[in-house]
Amino acid sequence: MSERYAYVPHRLLRTRVRDIASGAEGELMAVVNENVSATGLEHWVELAYIRIPSGREITTAGANIESA
CATH of residue 52: 2.40.10
The pTM (predicted TM-score) of the whole model is: 0.87
Best CA proximity match to 3, nearest among 39, 36, 35? 35
Tell me how many domains the chain contains. 1
Domain membership of residue 52 as a residue range: 5-67
11-63 per-position pLDDT tens digit: 999 999 999 999 999 999 999 999 888 888 888 999 999 999 999 999 999 99
Q: What is the pLDDT of residue 2?
A: 57
Measured CA to CA, the distance from residue 16 to residue 1 in angstroms comes to 35
- Cα angle vertex 12, ends 6, 16, to 5°? 120
